Chain A
Amino acid sequence: MCLAVPAKLIEQDGHHGMVDLHGNRLPVNTMMTPDAQNGDWILIHAGFAIERLDPEEARKTWALIADVQRAAGEGEAQEHTPQQRLAAATPGELL
Chain B
Amino acid sequence: MSLTQHTIDDLLQRLDVAAKTIGHDVAFMEVCGTHTTSSFRCGLPSVMPSNVRLISGPGCPVCVTSQGDIDRLIDLGLRQDVILCTYGDMLRVPGKQGTLEAARARGGRIEIVYSSMDAVKLARREAGREVVFAAVGFETTAPATAAAICEAQRLNISNFSVLASHKRIIPAMRALLADGEIPAIKGFLCPGHVSVIIGSEVYAPIVEEFGVSCVIGGFEPAQLIAALVCLTELVVENKTALVNQYPEAVHKKGNRWALALLEQIFEPGDARWRGMGTLPDSGLILRREYQRFDAALRFNLPEPQEREPKGCICGKVISGAALPVQCKLFGKSCTPISPIGPCMVSSEGTCSAWFKYGNFRQMTLPKRQEKELLEVQS
Chain A residues within CB distance 8 Å of chain B: 1-4, 29, 31-34, 43, 45-48, 50-51, 53-55, 57-58, 60-62, 65-66, 68-69, 71-72, 76-77, 80, 82, 85, 95
> CA–CA, A87 to B6, complex, Å?
20
- Confirm or deny: B261 has a beta carbon within 8 angstroms of a beta carbon on chain A: yes
Candidates A50, A61, A77; contact of B258 at CB < 8 Å: A50
Name the residue of chain B whose CB is nearest to the CB of A58: B248
> CA–CA, A46 to B220, complex, Å?
20
Verify A48–B60 contact, CB threshold 8 A. no
List chain B residues, Cβ under 8 A from A58. Answer: 248
Verify B196–A1 contact, CB threshold 8 A. no
Given the known inter-chain contacts A57-B247, A80-B4, please indicate yes or no for A2 contacting B141, CB distance below 8 A.
yes
- Confirm or deny: B197 has a beta carbon within 8 angstroms of a beta carbon on chain A: yes
The 8 lowest CB-CB distance pairs between A and B, nearest first, are A47-B115, A58-B248, A57-B248, A2-B140, A57-B247, A69-B10, A2-B193, A32-B258
Within 8 A of A (CB), among B189-230: 191-194, 196-197, 218-220, 222, 226
Name the residue of chain A whose CB is nearest to the CB of B3: A80
Verify B115–A48 contact, CB threshold 8 A. yes
Candidates B7, B37, B59; contact of A68 at CB < 8 Å: B7
Verify A34–B144 contact, CB threshold 8 A. no
List chain B residues, Cβ under 8 A from A51. Answer: 196, 249-250, 255
Candidates B61, B141, B246, B346; contact of A45 at CB < 8 Å: B141
Within 8 A of A (CB), among B141-186: 141, 143-144, 147
Verify B38–A95 contact, CB threshold 8 A. yes
Shortest Cβ gap from B140 to chain A (Å): 4
Verify A4–B193 contact, CB threshold 8 A. yes
Verify B144–A47 contact, CB threshold 8 A. yes
List chain A residues, Cβ under 8 A from B62. Answer: 1
How many chain B residues touch A (CB < 8 A): the figure is 57
Verify A65–B222 contact, CB threshold 8 A. yes
Shortest Cβ gap from B262 to chain A (Å): 10
List chain B residues, Cβ under 8 A from A46. Answer: 87, 114-116, 141, 144
- Confirm or deny: B14 has a beta carbon within 8 angstroms of a beta carbon on chain A: yes
The listed residue with most A CB atoms (<10 A of its CB), out of B14, B196, B246, is B196
> CA–CA, A34 to B260, complex, Å?
13
> CA–CA, A1 to B134, complex, Å?
14
> CA–CA, A90 to B59, complex, Å?
28
List chain B residues, Cβ under 8 A from A2. Answer: 32-34, 59, 61, 137-138, 140-141, 191-194
List chain B residues, Cβ under 8 A from A66. Answer: 3, 6-7
List chain A residues, Cβ under 8 A from B38. Answer: 95
List chain A residues, Cβ under 8 A from B197. Answer: 50
Render B314-358 as a binary contact track against A, CB cut-off 8 A, 1 for contact.
000000000000000000000000000000001010000000000
**A1-B346, A45-B144, A82-B220 are known contacts; what are 4 more A-B pairs with Cβ within 8 Å?**
A4-B193, A43-B249, A46-B115, A50-B193
